[in-house]
């Protein structure tokens, strides 16, 4: 009996985990953006502008290039960076934890602050809109 | 179960699985010709290998790794912060496999930058300052520019090709 409960519990946990894994990173970002009553949807155009806006020393495009369908290069270490646009690199923007980790780091490095939910959604929307 | 809890659950499961999966596959040839397995860890490889290659733990003593892991929010001028659980996993791996030296103690050679250590400078003393700045290398952080197998943890002489 105990074993059945354990196996059942484990299966439920794995099922829940697989659902969480399939979550679109944009879902939580959209929910956060909607907390602002004036929110009326994400804008690819605003995302593109933000991507190319220079903060302290860098812009997103400093490392990811102005056309994120192309591979980039880390401006400090020189290491190659795979393209950011899903059209060139389908693994991009699929893992919510990764998306949050990198926005936190990179908005800090570029703009010296965290990006808002709307800004993150704008950039994701623009990156996803890029086609070949 | 809400999404964030499920996600945290998944992550602890995958961390546990990754622990179980730690099996070394590459090997290191040391200067004296001896071969021994290069310690590896998938969490370290993933997290430390994004902006630069995952620098081998043997490149710095444990004291250096502890200081680095304690200051990831300002990691040589960039934010490399990670969650506490991941950081603890990586720090354990780094310190367990860190450089051990009787002559280079904390007081004499525990730099935060690998390139500032005496060992590194001795090994690279034939490389001119201008060479480091050349377009093909760019930075001493870019090990793979010359050490063609660096991303696999190998720095042996036969794989070196200075561009």
Backbone angles phi, psi at B78, to 5 degrees: -125, 160
The answer, yes or no, to whether residue A119 has pLDDT greater than 90, is: yes
Binning pLDDT at 50, 70 and 90, where does residue B78 land?
very high
pLDDT at B25: 42
pLDDT in tens, B24-69: 344 555 554 456 678 999 999 999 999 999 999 999 999 999 999 9
- Distance between CA atoms of B7 and B163, rounded to whole angstroms? 44
| Range scoring the smallest mean pLDDT among A37-46, B25-34, B88-97, B128-137 | B25-34
Least Cα distance to A110 among A69, A76, A67 occurs for A76
| Range scoring the smallest mean pLDDT among A29-38, A107-116, B151-160 | B151-160
Q: Which residues are bridge partners to B28 per DSSP?
A: B36
Alpha carbon of B9: minimum distance to chain A alpha carbons (Å): 7
The answer, yes or no, to whether residue B20 has pLDDT greater than 80, is: no
Strand-strand pairing, A80-81 and A72-73: antiparallel
Average pLDDT over residues B106-120: 78
Strand ranges in chain B using DSSP code E only, listed in sequence order: 27-29, 35-37
Take residue B136 and report the two structure tokens written for it. 């093909």
Tell me which chain A residues have a C-beta less than 8 angstroms from the C-beta of B10: 17-18, 20-21
Domain A24-129 indexed as CATH 1.10.760.10: yes
- In terms of CA atoms, which chain A residue is nearest residue B1? A16
Average pLDDT over residues A10-37: 78
- Distance between CA atoms of B70 and B81, rounded to whole angstroms? 10
Question: Structural domain boundaries of chain A?
Answer: 24-129
């Amino acid at each position: 009996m105990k074993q059945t409960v354990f196996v059942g519990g484990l299966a439920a946990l794995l099922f829940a985990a697989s659902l969480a894994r399939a979550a679109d990173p944009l879902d939580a970002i959209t929910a956060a953006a909607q907390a602002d009553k004036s929110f009326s949807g994400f804008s690819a155009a605003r995302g593109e502008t933000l991507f190319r806006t220079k903060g302290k020393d860098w812009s997103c495009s400093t490392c990811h290039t102005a056309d994120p369908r192309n591979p980039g290069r880390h401006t400090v270490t020189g290491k190659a960076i795979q393209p950011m646009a899903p059209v060139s690199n389908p693994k991009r923007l699929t893992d919510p934890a990764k998306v949050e980790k990198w926005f936190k780091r990179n908005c800090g490095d570029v703009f010296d602050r965290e990006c808002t939910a709307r800004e993150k959604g704008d950039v994701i929307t623009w990156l996803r809109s890029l086609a070949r | 179960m809400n999404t964030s809890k499920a996600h945290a659950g998944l992550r602890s499961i995958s961390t546990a699985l990754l622990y179980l999966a730690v099996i070394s596959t590459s090997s290191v040839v040391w200067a004296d010709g001896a071969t021994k397995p290069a310690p590896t860890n998938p969490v370290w490889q993933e997290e430390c290998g994004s902006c630069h290659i995952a620098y081998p733990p043997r490149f710095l003593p444990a004291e250096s790794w502890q200081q680095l892991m304690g200051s990831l929010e300002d990691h040589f001028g960039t934010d490399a912060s990670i969650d506490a659980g991941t950081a603890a996993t990586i720090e354990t791996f780094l310190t367990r496999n860190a450089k051990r030296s009787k002559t280079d103690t904390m007081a004499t050679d525990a730099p935060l930058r690998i390139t500032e250590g005496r060992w590194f400078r001795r090994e690279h003393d034939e490389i001119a300052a201008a060479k480091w700045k050349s377009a093909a290398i760019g930075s001493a952080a870019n090990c793979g520019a010359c050490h063609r197998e660096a991303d696999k943890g190998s720095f042996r002489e036969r794989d070196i090709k200075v561009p």
